[in-house]
Amino acid sequence: MKTNPLIAKYNLRQHGRFAALLWLLMVSGCKVMQPIVTVAPPPVVLVAPPTAPESSKPPVVKPKAILQAPVEKSDFWTEISEARRFKDCDYDPDINAWAVRLVGNKDRFRAHVERFLPYLDFVWREAQALNMPAEVAYLPLVESDFRQVYGSYGSPGGWWQLMPATARDFGMITARGNDQRLDPVISTTAALKLMQANGERFQRDWLLAIFAYNVGGFRIQKALNARGLSPGQIEHVSQLNLPGTTEHHLHRLIAWGCIFADPARYGAELPPGLSKRQRFRVTQTDAKIPARAVAAALGGSLGQTWLSQHPLLDKKRRLASADRFLAPGEFTKLLAALGDLDKYRQVAAVTPNQAARQTIDRSPINNRAVSASVKATPKITAARTPAQIDVPEFYAVRSGDSLWIIARRFDMRVKEILALNPGIDRKTVLKLKQKLRLR
């Protein structure tokens, strides 16, 4: 198609004018506004994260910190406190009053607990084996303070303050000079059998079982029947209308448990519990050994306490292989460290009368003058201890005393005390603080 020459000439002329105008603007320095170019963003491509190799460990995620109470190491006091049947120290206002009274001086209380701790630990292990609460182990504390109380005639005796008839029901001997209520092993076995019988009788209601130990099971059953109650329905001692002594007995029992569970509340401090080697257990020896060798092996105040806790063995010159006593697990090692045990043998008591009789029997002359002089000779105390026994002129009767106990304490005979005190005989019941002439 041919272009019209006039149109082509016109287009060329217009193009020339436009080019001339553009050149003029550039020369004059005028700036030309650059056009705005909008660039579209690149498309988003989703890329999967790289897969970790199977051998690599998973990432460690730190959990949030959880606040927990510190776990205390369980010891004897924790164990025996958690095993209590009566944990309410506010069960009665009298309980806290008893607890404060029992603690008294802080230092003396700690020393007091150290004295009976081996025996409390022993009783608790025995009671625990029979599935009994800790209050059963506190009974000797309330009854006798873990001291061997000498009973006479119809009075209670020993740690557990067993009556003679009750002791005989459990096969114990209560003869004078061989009262097994003073044997810690035999008496503990009998007392726990009694508590086990009480627990079965009252359907494991230990409140009633403890009441029965104090006043007898028949009286507790009679009180239940009178009020139409059964075991498990008694919440307070006042429901049975028992004597005030029984109520105080229970409150003291609970008070000991409160002290052991929270000593700081009552201003007390408890010694640490015993290790397995220190714990007392029933012990027998193959060979005959002096009783005082046992005390020497234990040493210190513990040895002296052992003699007072085993009075039936203390008076023996040697222990037989059948004798059972309480001693720690490391006793054999302690005994071997003593070496020769004969030096601890108790010297037999020889009175001037016995020595004179031996002399008279061997002498060719047996006249009355010698016999009369022997009778007039004052009695010499036996060499049972390194120091001579100081016999006072007058003696004030203490709680738990009997003529036999006083005679044994001062190495005398009962008939000698009776001869010096014409107003009494063997059947006389001694009164507290009663004055007796001893020389």
Share in percent of the chain as helix, strand, coil (round to 5): 50, 5, 45
Q: Do residues 411 and 349 lie in contact, with contact meaning Cβ atoms separated by under 8 Å?
A: yes
Largest Cα separation within the chain, whole Å, is 194
Identity (one letter) of the amino acid at 18?
A: F
Size of the chain, expressed as the number of residues it contains = 439
- The helix (run of H) or strand (run of E) holding residue 8 is helix 5-27
DSSP 395-438: EE--TT--HHHHHHHTT--HHHHHHH-TT--TTPPPPTT-EEE-
* Ordered alpha helix ranges (H), 134-287: 135-143, 164-169, 184-201, 206-215, 217-227, 244-261
Distance CA 192, CA 320 (A): 26
Contacts of 221 (CB under 8 A, 6+ apart): 201
Indicate the Cα dihedral angle 57, 62, 63, 67, nearest 10°: 140
Task: Return the structure tokens found at 49.
Answer: 């994260």
Which residues are catalytically annotated? 143
